[in-house]
Chain A
Amino acid sequence: MLTTARDLFRYNREFRIGALLTGFIVAFAALSLVSPYPPQDTFVVPPDVPPSFAYWFGTTSRGQDVFWQLTFAIRNTMSFGFAVAILSRLISIAIGMWSGYKGGLVDRVLMSINDTFIVIPLFPLLVLFYFVMRDNMSWPLLALAMACLGWSYDARLIRSIAMSLKSREFTQQSVFSGMRTSEIVLQEHLPYVLPIVFYTTMNNMNWSIGLEVTLSVLGFTNIDTPTIGVMIYWANQHTAMVAGIWWWIFFPVLFVVILFIGLFLLAISMNEYIDPRSRLARMGMRA
């Protein structure tokens, strides 16, 4: 796996740029560990100071240093997106592969459930969720809710791969070698599914981050914890754009855009990898 990453980095331009951008964001988020100001404190620095030598990204109307706020914001946003992506991958792999391999009634039932989830309008549902939970709303809870809503597209994708693998002759050979269903699915089929899973993970992260930003900007999340969306929310509350405090909105947006582009490039750089022919050609190279 490491040699794969190394090769991709060296020879695939999209992967290289994507990895650098994402790596930059991760490093920036790591800075939050050495932040001089606790994230939720306000009025610790003079408010409304434009970007300068003392305050690189300026300060907010609430007296917070944008630079250090941003480290927390991007860290929270990223970990949120990551958590949602991982949780929903687990669900979509489990359902997709089981449904694809078993077929028959199991498949029909699971796919009916799946399709129901696809057509549910997510945004109103999440807003409703907020209104129901209100003060009990926390980030883990929101992550869980979104994970439970974000698995359905990819489950179908994985299911179609599982179905096509089932009909291939090596699956029959595995059956007649005495392998159990679980062994076949995990050992024979999963390697085909994993590259797609990686691609969908990046996609899913972008989707969940986008949704989080949307919800937070509108105030439908816990607005005490700094995330990108929450920063923009507060900026709107203080009418930052009208007041001319452009740096309060500009830097969060810039960083989330960088994160998006980085993740997107990582996702599409895997396209070359996912294509079975190029994988086999590469394997031939190593031999």
Chain B
Amino acid sequence: MSAAGRSPLIEVEHVGMTYAIGGLFRRRAVRAVDDVSFRVEAGSPEILAIIGESGSGKTTLARMILNLATPTDGAIRFLGADLTGVRSNRERTAFMRQVQPIFQNPFEAFNPLKRVDHYLYFSARRFAAARGRADIETRTDKALQQVGLSLAEVKGRFPHELSGGQLQRIAIARALISAPSLIIADEPVSMVDASLRMSIVNLFKTLRDELGVSIVYITHDLATAYYISDRVLIMQRGKAVESGNARAVLDHPQHPYSVLLKNAVLSPDDVDKPIARPGTSRDSADSSPAIAPSNRE
């Protein structure tokens, strides 16, 4: 339910991104993103999962929403204003205050040579208008508390002293300092240990429910997408092939690619019916011609 009359938080309208690859004589156009449209409404926080494999264009789409890349077709609007119009420092700061990223690799997201807290301090100074040491530290501590950590635990530490799960939480805290309305999380848990993964995933739920932050959750993992998202958008080779309510789409996928994705997921429950057992001559799961490797080679 969207508040009547409000511009959507993010409106992606027939967006495409075309790259040219190849040398001087054999240039080819590659459509990394091809006519994708969706919107995230303001005022009703939700988690939208964008699901795709490598080459599906999901990371390119994320970069465009973060205004790190400009679409070659279509437009992306944030609260009604086209992103290409965000140019001056002031406008960019205002945009970054509202839209923050979480990156895939927590160990790469922090400079190994610097302490992790200085990103938090900078964010507090630039986005939360904190002045003076005490104010900055208070804001930082508040943000860290929201993710289940505290400044005392984190202060003065280097990235290699912390686990992937802790680093990712610090990254989320940093993103929260500016009180954003939208967080773009690009595969935020794929590099986090399985035992720590669910605490981060649950944290996203908390962000949506208690802090009112909408999250665009980019992943290739259908199971976690099923677990926390409200809506999903499935992408294949740059195109959006299916979208809708998360549970509906993932319980009963309609598009052949969605069906393929779902069937390809390996789960511990398969121990009752694994993909290959002694006696079966050919694997029954890869009967779909779309993935038969001989077609592509």
Contacts and interface: CB of A to CB of B under 8 A. Distances in A.
Nearest to B103: A169
Contacts of B190: none
B119 A191 contact: no
A266 to B, nearest CB: 22
Interface residues of B, number: 29
Interface in A187-244: 187-188, 191-192
Interface stretch (B2-10, B28-36, B107-115, B198-206): B107-115
Contacts of A172: 68, 101, 103, 109
A169 B108 contact: yes
A192 B114 contact: no
B114 A178 contact: no
B114 A188 contact: yes
A168 interface: yes
B158 A283 contact: yes
Contact of A177 (B119, B158, B160, B161): B119
Given A169-B103, A178-B125, A178-B126, A283 B108 contact: no
B174 interface: yes
B101 A192 contact: no
Given A169-B105, A178-B122, A287-B161, A279 B127 contact: no
B177 to A, nearest CB: 9
B212 to A, nearest CB: 20
Nearest to A279: B113
B122 A179 contact: yes
Nearest to B66: A176
B214 interface: no
Nearest to B120: A177
Interface string B109-137: 11111100011101101110000000000
B160 A284 contact: yes
B123 A178 contact: yes
B109 A173 contact: yes
B127 A178 contact: yes
Given A284-B160, A287-B161, A187 B114 contact: yes
B159 to A, nearest CB: 9
B96 A176 contact: yes
Contact of B111 (A170, A178, A183, A279): A170
A170 B109 contact: yes
Interface in A143-201: 168-170, 172-179, 183, 187-188, 191-192
A276 interface: yes
Q: In which size bucket is the chain A interface? A: 20 to 34
A179 B126 CA distance: 8
Nearest to A165: B111
Contacts of A280: 112, 160
Contacts of A178: 93, 96, 122-123, 125-127
B243 interface: no
A168 B125 CA distance: 23
A279 B109 CA distance: 18
Interface string B145-177: 000000000000010110000000001001100
A284 B103 CA distance: 24
B158 A287 contact: yes
B236 interface: no
A175 B158 CA distance: 19
B100 interface: yes
A284 B113 CA distance: 11
Interface of B: 68, 93, 96, 100-101, 103-105, 108-114, 118-120, 122-123, 125-127, 158, 160-161, 171, 174-175
Given A172-B109, A176-B175, A276-B112, 5 more contacts: A170-B108, A177-B122, A179-B122, A191-B114, A192-B113
27 contacts: A169-B109, A170-B109, A172-B68, A173-B101, A173-B109, A173-B171, A174-B119, A176-B100, A176-B175, A177-B119, A177-B120, A177-B123, A177-B126, A177-B174, A178-B93, A178-B96, A178-B126, A179-B122, A187-B114, A187-B118, A188-B111, A192-B113, A279-B113, A280-B160, A283-B113, A283-B158, A287-B158
Interface of A: 168-170, 172-179, 183, 187-188, 191-192, 276, 279-280, 283-284, 287
